[in-house]
Every structure is written in C-alpha cells, then in structure tokens.
Amino acid sequence: MSSKAPLIIMSGPSGVGKSTIIHRLLDAKDLPLRLSISATTRNQRPGEVDGYHYHFWDRPKFENALEEDHFLEHAEVHGNLYGTPRSEVDHYREQGVGVILDIDVQGFDQVRAKCDDFVAIFLEAANYEQRLRDRGTENESAIQRRLQTAQRELLRAPEYQHRIINDDLETTVAKVRHLIESQFSRR
C-alpha cells in the first residue's frame, strides 16, 4: 500500500475522448485530482496561459531540467520538446492529490521505468475511424495518419492495467471514476 495519492496514466489514440473524460472528472470536483501540466519549448499560442495550458520554457531551461532528471517523461515532437516535470506530480501526490497524466505510449514506457505505483488506463473508441470522420476537423491524409498511429498504439494496449472502450461517454466517465476511487481507497 502506498501513502501517496494515485498516479493515473491515461493513454489512447488521438480523438478517443481522453481530454473530455479527464475534464469531466476534474470538473466534478469530488475527488482530489489534478491534471499534470507539461513543459514545452514550443511557442505559446494565442489564448494559452503559461502555467495553465503548458509551462512554456526556452530550450536551454528544458535541456538543463532534462540533464538534472527533473522529468518523469519527455519527447521531442516536430522539433519541440515536451515533458512532465516531476514537480507537477510528486509534491501533489504526497499532499493527497491524485495526478492524471495524459500521455502517449512512449511516455508510458518512461513513467513505468521510473515509478512502480501507478494505474494505467488505455482508452479506446468504438468505431474509431467513423469518430474521426464525424469530427470533421482533418482532411483525408490527416485521418489516415491518425489511423496508422492508432493502429501502432493499439498494439501496446495490453501493457496497460485497464482497457476501456469509450462507446458511451457517461458510462466511460463512470468506469474511469470507479478505477480512480478504488486507488484512493488502497492508500
């Protein structure tokens, strides 16, 4: 049994509803939870708030933190660095606040190599291709790229402790909530 609040890893293909489910859990405010805020070297976009959407760092600051092992996980994506600072996780867990990481399967590999007390949830979607098409936000080549990436990610799903198919949002939120609540009761 751990005295720390749970570390919850949520992964799954882009567009399966991870963000929506996470925000539903956080908006309920009935569990002591927070979403970890990643650090990035990419430029801040209009409307984004430093420290809320991301921690916007310059490359030297990020690389220095990386050298000093201040990240649970990190990656370079399209020339920009992204990572989960340990300061976004450890302190909160010690204070009884569960931390959710919305990360990909590569991030999951890094976190599980550094932590032994986490609950890993892989979220899938029924009719994933149709879901992407119904969103109407990408052209055909982007949809095909997402489908190829999803196929690779789905091969990794058995490595997670829990797999949940998001075929009904309310049911899925309830399932994820139940898993998280059970982690708090194990403390």
Q: Domain ranges in the chain?
A: 7-36+89-185
Residue 184: both structure tokens together = 């708090």
Between CA 151 and CA 138 the distance in angstroms is 18
Between CA 176 and CA 123 the distance in angstroms is 10
Q: Using an 8 Å Cβ cutoff, are 133 and 147 in contact? A: no
Sheet holding 119-125, edge to edge: 33-35, 98-102, 7-11, 119-125, 162-166
Between CA 120 and CA 160 the distance in angstroms is 5
pLDDT tens-place values along the chain, 187 residues long? 568 999 999 999 988 999 999 999 999 999 999 999 999 999 999 999 999 999 999 999 999 999 999 999 999 988 999 999 999 999 999 999 999 999 999 999 999 999 989 999 999 998 888 888 888 888 999 889 889 999 999 999 999 999 999 999 999 999 999 999 999 877 6
Which of the 8 DSSP states describes residue 182?
A: H
What is the phi/psi pair of residue 82, to 5°? Answer: -135, 145
- Report the pLDDT value the prediction gives residue 187, as an integer from 0 to 100: 64
Give domain 7-36+89-185's CATH number out of 3.30.70.20, 3.30.450.270, 3.40.50.11750, 3.40.50.300. Answer: 3.40.50.300
Q: Is 64 helix (H, G, I), strand (E, B) or coil?
A: helix
